[in-house]
Amino acid sequence: MRPTTRRSPPRLFLRFFRWYCHPHLLYHIEGDLMELYHERHDTSGKRKADIKFIVDVLLLFRPGIIKPSSSYHNLNHYAMIKSYLKIGIRNLLKYKGYSFINIGGLATGMAVAIIIGLWVYDELSFNHYHTNYPRIAQVIKGGTFQGKHFIGQDYLPYPLIEELQTTYGTNFKHVVPTSGPGGFGAVLSAGDKKLSRTGMYIGESAPEMFTWKMKYGTWSGLDDLHSMMISESTAKAFFGNDDPLGKPLKVNGTTDVVVTGVYEDFPKNSAFHGINFFEPWKFRLKREDWIAKQGWENHFLMVYVEIQPNISMERAGANIFNAEMNAIKDIDYLKEEMKYKPEVHLLPMDKWHLYSNFEEGVLQNGPVQIVWFMGAIGIFVLLLACINFMNLSTARSEKRAKEVGIRKTIGSVRRQLIGQFFSESFLVVILAFITALCLVSLSLPWFNQLAGKGMTMPWHLVYFWLISLGFILLTGLLAGSYPALYLSSFNPVHILKGTFRLRNTASIPRKVLVTLQFTVSVVLMICTGVIYHQIMFVKDRPVGYSREGLISMWKKSDEYNKQADVLRTELKATGAVIEVAESGGEVTGIWSNNGGFNWKGKDPNKDEEGFATLNVAPEFGKTVGWQFVAGRDFIPDMASDSSAMVINESAAKEMGLENPVGEVIHWANRPWGVDKDFTIIGVIKDMVMESPFESTRSSVYFTFGYKGVLLLRLNPAMSTSEALAKVEPVFTKIIPDIPFEYNFVDQSYASKFRAEERIGKLAAVFACLAIFISCLGLFGLASFVAEQRTKEIGIRKVLGASVTNLWGMLSKEFVGLVILACLIATPIAYYILDEWLKSYAYRTSISVWILTMAGLGALAITLLTVSYQSIRAALANPVKSLRSE
């Protein structure tokens, strides 16, 4: 017999056979094949034997011999999934408290993520309401001041607008001047109906450029000189459901206009939100003929442009860069201006909202960073919630371990167990998502108020549902992966024999997580504390005048000036008003800032920053109650006081005058029309007129110039409502055309805290949520540890440990973790808050007690959370825990 090695059949076909053959049949059929092959080899030679072998192998390739494609038959998917869901629901119902915490925690995380997602979407889509936003820009100015390049001055001189319309007109489809952001208040009246509304003068092509959504009329509604376009809500308020086109309106009781168009109200995320009527720009030019006479040095107008479709934003920006330089270089009186090297820039519309900060000539990220920061917080919160979900699911794994063991023994494959746990986590995630949607719908109005937004749930958007679906999938996979993979990996033999123990290392990631969560919570707690502390500190700042019982109102018609003396005497006669005064603007703002001052000993090399130049009536000081450091107040009817000035302490310091009272300063300024000497008659304490968080500006007060605001000091002996009831009839009698409307100065002042209070509230909300989620994480860890140490606790109890002992033993570990979190959090919070406080000129310092309180608060919350688990474990009957072997 020849050696076996030489009598082997074609290897390729043998391997093919081995690959396809059913494992149960493989050995003996292969044996048969080999036996036949050897026999044929001996009788008819290798070649014939080979061929026959190949034929046999190929003929064996038929159903019945081929192995099935998978090792088990999955015929019953539907029934299996049904059973998974049923068991999942039973598990949820069996541990109701636990399910509540788990679903509630995940829902909270999801709700936060959804709200933040909506907020980010709202911020990023700011101004997208105006279809042409990619080609719209605002014209702004830049230059060099005190050796530094600056950019971002949005008020422009009148001749620049003319220059843009004529010389550079080819770049732009529309050039639209406006009377400034926010508009102005005015009283509209139709017949007897009078309403205060905010309006704006705007270039005639604005409706087309900003694609107003017209309800009545067309985009060309502003072409007529006496036309007015009003918002839908205003139209409703005046004319109900009637067609308002062609209806007459009166502005401030004097000007007659005709409604030529009604547009849909602008949404909150539009730069024009809240503007209820528009009047044509050319009407303003005609009525206020001083505007067209202004030169290059008076910056008081704003301009929006839409560039031509065939030109890029950069190109247009480059074309107008030198527009002002080229125009003013030959004008004599502007030689001084040239040293500021004025530049003209375009600020694209999609950057108005999120990128409006400029620093040293570079566009800063500013608000957009907050948007991304908030987005990161949203993802972070969701991630924490997901990890907590995993934690809580696996913490109870010993309860499910036996089920896994039995299932595996009966024949479940690992893949099926993974499927089971995934379907359970999807069940929870879907329940949590529905809860989250409810939470979001309920809290959205409240959040809108808090964040000053007008967000709605986009139920009607397909995208929203697609994203929601993706969101559920992602969260389900994220939250379900660890339990699914971990629980399904248990070895059934170990579980059922009772030698199964959760590894000690499994608690390390949990500890890291709890520490991380508490670090975040403590940071947020400290932030909340310090923000509120700062707000309280600034609220206590001495403001230099008394704002309680002070009311202000804009003179909405010339009647106020004509009837000034009558008003004053009648008001005083009521006994409700102690003093009446006028000023150029509201006390809670600085309305004018100018240069052109000269005084003895002025440093000629220093670029002057100018002073706040505030024109007030002689009674102003007495009305607002400013406080003198030196000198005297203005005296009404004293002729020489028309060239007198009262300055504040900052101005005295800036001027470097030892004894300012009686000094003479020279002021030359074209817009104010002055070029003369003024005598300083008094020095007052700094009045906080702008942001109370900033240092006060150097200011000078004088008595000439037009004063548009009326100030009333109410009698403190009377209650405010009593006093107002007496004041109102005076106004309605003397000026019947204008409704009696006023501001409380203390309320306007309080509104300056709104941004900070908003940050404070947001920080507080996030701190609460972070603490809630951290507590869930801690709860998960505590229950995990308590479960793991059940036997140990039983033995300790048998040996005589008291409940207090055990409670201390179980809580100690967590207290350690939280102290560690506090130690990490404190420097982080200190660093962040120190940077934040540095942005305020008037600021508090971070006090130790806030840091201590935050740490103690975190500890107290920890003990409360952990005690539930540890006391329960300590109270458990040791017989029960030790018996279950």
Partner 1 sequence: MKKYQLGEFEEVVILTIGVLYNDAYGVSIKKEIENRLSRNVSMGALHTALKRLEDKGYIRSHDGETTEERAGRPKKYFEITALGKKAMEYTRNTREDLWRSIPKVALQVKIAGQ
- Write out the residues near partner 1 by the rule CB under 8 A: 4, 25, 27-36, 38-39, 55-56, 58-62, 64-65
Task: Say if residues 683 and 646 touch (Cβ distance below 8 Å).
Answer: yes
Q: What is the largest CA-CA distance in the chain?
A: 143
Token pair of 17 as six digits? 């056979």
Q: How far is the CB of 31 from partner 1 (least distance, A)?
A: 3
C-beta closer to partner 1: residue 36 or 313: 36
* 661, containing H or E segment: none
SS3 257: strand
Nearer to partner 1, 31 or 816 (CB): 31
What pairs with residue 251 in β-bridges?
188, 255
In the complex, minimum distance from the CB of residue 424 to partner 1, in angstroms, rounded to a whole number:
38
Nearer to partner 1, 13 or 672 (CB): 13
Shortest distance (Å) from residue 60 CB to partner 1: 4
Pairing relationship of beta strands 255-263 and 227-231 according to DSSP bridges: parallel
Phi, psi values for residue 568, rounded to 5°: -60, -50
Instruction: Provide CB contacts within 8 A for 543, sequence distance 6+.
Output: 687, 688, 692, 749
Cβ distance to partner 1 smaller for residue 23 or 800:
23
Do residues 698 and 613 make contact, with C-beta atoms less than 8 angstroms apart?
no
In the complex, least distance from residue 415 CB atom to partner 1, rounded to whole angstroms? 28
Supply the minimum distance, in Å, between the C-beta of residue 2 and partner 1: 12
Looking at the Cβ atoms of 41 and 533, the one nearer to partner 1 is: 41
Residue 198's nearest CA partner among 271, 274, 259 is 274
Minimum separation from the CB atom of position 62 to partner 1 (A): 6
- Compute the least distance from the CB of residue 19 to partner 1, in Å: 16
Q: Are 713 and 550 in contact (CB under 8 A)?
A: yes
Pick the closer one to partner 1 by CB: 53 or 119: 53
Supply the minimum distance, in Å, between the C-beta of residue 16 and partner 1.
14
Nearest distance, CB of residue 52 and partner 1, angstroms = 9
Q: Under DSSP, is residue 395 helix (H, G, I), strand (E, B) or coil?
A: helix
645 DSSP β-pair partners: 680
Amino acid at 537: F
Residue closer to partner 1 by CB (options 60, 450) is 60
Q: How far is CA 163 from CA 156, 285, 296, 364, 821, in A?
A: 12, 16, 11, 29, 62
Nearer to partner 1, 5 or 640 (CB): 5
Q: How far apart are CA 497 and CA 490, in angstroms?
A: 12
Which residue's CB is nearer to partner 1, number 17 or number 421? 17
Q: How far is the CB of 881 from partner 1 (least distance, A)?
A: 52
SS3 683: strand
Name residue 648's amino acid: N
- CA atoms of 360 and 146, how far apart (whole Å): 11
Which of 64, 147 has the CB closer to partner 1?
A: 64
Cα separation, 240 vs 232, in Å, equals: 10
Q: Is 425 left (phi over 0), alpha (psi -120 to 50) or beta?
A: alpha
- Identify each DSSP E strand in 450-565 by its residue range: 550-554
Of 550, 567, 578, nearest in space to 730 by CA: 567
Separation CA 794–CA 804 (nearest Å): 14
Q: Are 708 and 584 in contact (CB under 8 A)?
A: yes
Give whichever of 12 and 638 is closer to partner 1, judged by the CB atom: 12
In whole angstroms, the minimum distance from the beta carbon of 75 to partner 1 comes to 18
Nearer to partner 1, 4 or 170 (CB): 4
Minimum CB distance to partner 1, residue 7 (Å): 9
CB of 59 to partner 1, least distance (A): 3
The owner of tokens 């003479």 is 664
SS3 725: helix
Residue type for 652, please? Answer: A
Which CB atom, from 24 or from 460, has the smaller least distance to partner 1?
Answer: 24
**Is 44 or 312 the residue whose CB approaches partner 1 more closely?**
44
- CA–CA dist 198, 188 (Å, integer): 10
Q: Which residues contact 340 (CB under 8 A, 6 or more apart)?
A: 143, 144, 145
CB 221 within 8 Å of CB 205? no
What stretches of 523-610 adopt beta strand conformation (E)? 550-554, 577-583, 593-594, 597-599
φ and ψ of 674, to 5 deg = -125, 150
The alpha carbons of the chain give a radius of gyration, in whole angstroms, of 40
What end-to-end distance do the CA atoms of the chain give, in Å? Answer: 65
Nearer to partner 1, 36 or 80 (CB): 36
Residue among 42 and 609 whose Cβ is closer to partner 1: 42
Q: C-beta of 411: minimal distance to partner 1 in Å? A: 21
To partner 1, the closest distance from the beta carbon of 56 in angstroms equals 4
| Nearest-angstrom CA–CA distance, 546 and 525 | 34
Among 207, 202, 213, 209, which residue's Cα sits nearest to residue 174? 209
> What is the closest distance, in whole angstroms, from the C-beta atom of residue 48 to partner 1 in the complex?
15
Cβ of residue 58: shortest distance to partner 1, in angstroms? 8
Yes or no: say if 552 and 587 are a contact pair by the CB < 8 Å rule.
yes
| Closer residue to partner 1 (CB): 24 or 676 | 24
